[in-house]
Amino acid sequence: MKNSVTMRRLRPRSAAAILAAALPLLLALLTGCEQPSAQPAETASGPVEVARNVRVLEVGVSDLAESVEITGPVQPVRGADISAEEGGRLLEVVRDRGARVARGEALLRLDRRTLDAEIDAVRAELAAQDHNVDGVRELRAAGKVSEQALLEAEAMAARTRATLRSLEVRRERTAIPAPFDGLVTDRYVEPGELVAPGAVVARVLDPYTLKLEGAVTEQDVAWIREGAPARVTLDGHDAPVDGVVHWVGFEADPASGKFKVEIRLQNPDLALRSGVVGRARVQRRVLRDVVAIPRDAVLTTAEGAAVYTVSGDRAHLQHVQLGPDQGLMVAVEKGLAPGDLLVVRGHRDLVRNALVDVTERATRRDGGTDGDPAEVTEASAGREAGEEASR
Q: Determine the pLDDT at residue 65.
A: 84
**169 neighbors 85 (Cβ within 8 angstroms):** no
pLDDT of residue 44: 52
Predicted confidence at residue 32, as pLDDT, reads: 44
pTM: 0.58
Residue 383 confidence (pLDDT): 44
Domains of the chain: 56-76+207-390 (2.40.30.170), 82-108+175-205 (2.40.50.100), 112-173 (1.10.287)
Alpha-carbon dihedral sign for residues 290, 291, 294, 300? negative
Q: Is the pLDDT of residue 356 over 90?
A: yes
Distance CA(357)–CA(361), nearest Å, equals 11
How many degrees, rounded to 5, is the angle at CA 285 between CA 230 and CA 238? 35
pLDDT (0 to 100) of residue 203? 96
pLDDT the model gives residue 22: 52
- How many angstroms separate the Cα of 129 from the Cα of each of 118, 120, 138, 150, 340? 16, 14, 14, 12, 101
Residue scoring higher pLDDT (254 or 40)? 254
pLDDT band with cut points at 50, 70 and 90 for residue 7: very low
- pLDDT for position 37: 37
List residues bridging with 294 in a β-sheet. Answer: 329
- Span 59-68, average pLDDT: 88
Distances (CA, A) of 7 to 67, 261, 381: 112, 121, 97
Cα dihedral across residues 109, 110, 115, 117: positive or negative: positive
Residues above pLDDT 90, as percent of the chain: 68
Phi/psi of residue 177, nearest 5 degrees: -95, 165
Handedness of CA 223, 67, 276, 256 (dihedral sign): negative
Q: Is the pLDDT of residue 145 over 70?
A: yes
Residues 112-136: pLDDT tens digits? 999 999 999 999 999 999 999 999 9
Contact (Cβ atoms closer than 8 angstroms) between residue 105 and residue 190: no
- Indicate the helix (H) or strand (E) that contains 389: helix 374-390
